[in-house]
Amino acid sequence: MASGQSIIIVKKKKVMHAAHHGGSWKVAYADFVTALMAFFMVMWIMGMDQDTKDLVQGYFQNPVGFKKGYAGGANMLSQGNSITSIQLSRTVLLRSRLREEDRLQAVRRAIDLELARDGFLEGLNAAVEVVVTEDGLRIEMMETGQGDTFFEKSSARLGPALEDVLRLIARQIAPLSNGVVVEGHTDSMPFGRLDYSNWELSVDRANAARRVLIAAGLPADHVVGVIGYAERRPKFVERPLDPENRRISLLLPFDTPKQFELDVDSEDLVEALDLISRGGGQ
């Protein structure tokens, strides 16, 4: 080294890196974002109308059923970024239908229980059938045997046993809001008069049953129809002369329709609710 030259000393500082923490911060961040989104949704929902709140509530109560009934359509968020324009909530109607079915099933059980407990039909050639169908609650009071227990033969006069059954039924169905259709049916035996046929007979029997129901406490405005079908709607098509074709039927149609549709749908709302119900996207 030549004299007079300065010595240059280079110091290298070793930098110690922090230990590698993996991707745990991503999970924490995702939870934070999910919490913010949930808070935003809660604040958003609080400003909605009641029907829309019921829609959201119905989703969380039954996400699978909600999504099955969901059909793609117009995006409600494209209309002013508001979902308060929903006119019909499928979920609200569905819940109403299920509650109505439960009420009708409860009435069916109550009628069956009273008939069995009080022995109304013991020793009689008659039967009462109570079922909940897709149309509503159907109650059929039919003859068996020779067919002169519920009705006098070839007459619209009701027998005492049928009047007792109608009074029992009236007590059970009077509290319901459903309308009542009273139907009269005959067998296919032709009536023996030219000026009076099975049509008149079936209508007269149905109307006689209506009068008993109202006298027993059924509100008159609950009766929405009195229909005579003559022999055109037999219970047993293959046995047109069967006594069970001679019957009175009461139909209480559902107030809520079976099929439901949303006037407006939103994929964004469904996807957001689905994301929240799963707890985020991590």
Q: Read off the pLDDT of residues 205-256 as tens digits, 9 standing for 90 and up.
A: 999 999 999 999 999 999 999 999 999 999 999 999 898 899 999 999 998 8
Per DSSP (E only), the strands in the chain are 126-132, 136-143, 180-185, 223-228, 247-253
CA gap 52, 57 in Å, rounded:
9
The pLDDT assigned to 91 comes to 61
Average pLDDT, the chain: 78
The pLDDT assigned to 52 comes to 66
User: What integer is the mean pLDDT of 120-149?
Assistant: 88
Contact 255, 178 (CB under 8 A): yes
Instruction: Name the phi and psi angles at 253, rounded to 5.
Output: -65, 150
Residue with tokens 């007792």: 164
When pLDDT is cut at 50, 70 and 90, the band that residue 123 belongs to is confident
User: What integer is the mean pLDDT of 196-205?
Assistant: 94
The pLDDT assigned to 243 comes to 86
The pLDDT assigned to 142 comes to 93
Beta-bridge partner residues of 128: 141
Q: Domains of the chain (ranges plus CATH)?
A: 24-88+262-277 (no CATH), 94-253 (3.30.1330.60)
Q: 213 versus 143: which is more confidently predicted?
A: 213
> Token digits for 262?
């949303």
Q: Read off the pLDDT of residues 72-119 as tens digits, 9 standing for 90 and up.
A: 444 444 444 344 334 445 666 677 888 899 999 999 999 999 998 867
